[in-house]
């Protein structure tokens, strides 16, 4: 039986590319929750993180503005020879990832609210999603909700102002607590038993959620699923870093 082997130059090319960095970006510090998960799960990879804080939040920007920023940042990361990109932002993912995938040939992983696992998790089939304003009205996001909700009731709660306060280091302020609590009151009035964090900034206030919400309400975020999808894509495209450093003992 004939055995088909990959050309040597292709193997060497893939091996060289596998040591290149993974680019990760968000409209600020929110994507660090995903960055930290990737760093923990894929410690052998080199990561470059871009926090676009100057243009944060994306949630109150137009689609055209968000697409323009995403393309500028992606091109900068590509210029640094990144082998894959992670859009660590829910708003940027739902608005800009499709056009970005058409522009670039490398793996591009986005962040989408954990609607499907939330539907599986929920017992009473009443699910809340905290999002930015831009995500809440985005048709791609709404189509995703409609696709996976099945017979569940899904309540979308836009949370304008939260990202701005996190970015300005006011996470532990009374202003932040009052604003967050006003949104949580609206969503918990729906008798939800599962809450999806639809923005990568939102895991930063997970402790506050646990203080406010009943222990019966499950909280769903996306850092681990995104990391697992990134790993699958790297393996599929033979881009995962398998470089082994040899340590000599004397």
Burial letters 33-70, b for 16+ CB under 10 A, else e: bbbebbeeebeebeebbbbbeeebbbbebeeeebbebb
How far from each other are the two terminal CA atoms of the chain, in whole angstroms? Answer: 47
Q: Is 37 a catalytic residue?
A: no
Alpha-carbon separation of residue 243 from 46, 85, 88 (angstroms):
11, 20, 26
Q: What angle do CA 148, 149, 155 make, to 5 degrees?
A: 130
Please, are residues 155 and 128 in contact by the beta-carbon 8 Å criterion? yes
Tokens of 190: 């729906």
Q: Is 159 a catalytic residue?
A: no
How far apart CA 67 and CA 100 sit, in angstroms, is 8
Q: Determine the longest span between alpha carbons in the chain, in angstroms.
A: 72
Question: Among residues 37, 82, 89, 159, which one is catalytic?
Answer: 89
How far apart CA 13 and CA 10 sit, in angstroms, is 5
Q: What angle do CA 170, 171, 173 make, to 5 degrees?
A: 60
Q: Which residue numbers are catalytic?
A: 89, 199
């Amino acid at each position: 039986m004939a055995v088909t082997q990959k050309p040597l130059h292709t193997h060497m090319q893939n091996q060289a590319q596998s040591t290149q960095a993974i680019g990760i970006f968000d409209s600020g510090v929110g994507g660090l929750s995903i960055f930290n998960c990737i760093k923990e799960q894929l410690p052998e990879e080199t990561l470059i993180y871009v926090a676009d804080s100057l243009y944060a939040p994306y949630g109150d920007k137009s689609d055209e503005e968000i697409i323009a920023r995403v393309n500028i940042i992606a091109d900068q990361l590509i210029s640094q020879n990144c082998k894959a990109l992670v859009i660590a932002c829910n708003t940027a993912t739902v608005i800009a990832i499709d056009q970005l995938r058409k522009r670039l040939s490398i793996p591009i992983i986005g962040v989408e609210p954990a609607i499907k696992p939330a539907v599986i998790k929920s017992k009473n089939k009443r699910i809340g999603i905290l999002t930015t304003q831009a995500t809440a009205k985005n048709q791609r996001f709404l189509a995703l909700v409609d696709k996976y909700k099945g017979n569940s009731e899904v309540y979308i709660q836009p949370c304008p102002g939260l990202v701005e306060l996190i970015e300005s280091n006011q996470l532990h302020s009374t202003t932040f607590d009052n604003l967050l609590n006003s949104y949580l009151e609206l969503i918990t009035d729906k008798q939800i038993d599962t809450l999806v964090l639809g923005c990568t900034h939102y895991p930063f206030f997970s402790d506050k959620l646990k203080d406010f919400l009943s222990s019966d309400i499950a909280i769903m975020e996306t850092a681990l699923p995104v990391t697992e999808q990134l790993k699958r894509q790297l393996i599929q495209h033979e881009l995962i870093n398998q470089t082994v450093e040899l340590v000599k003992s004397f």
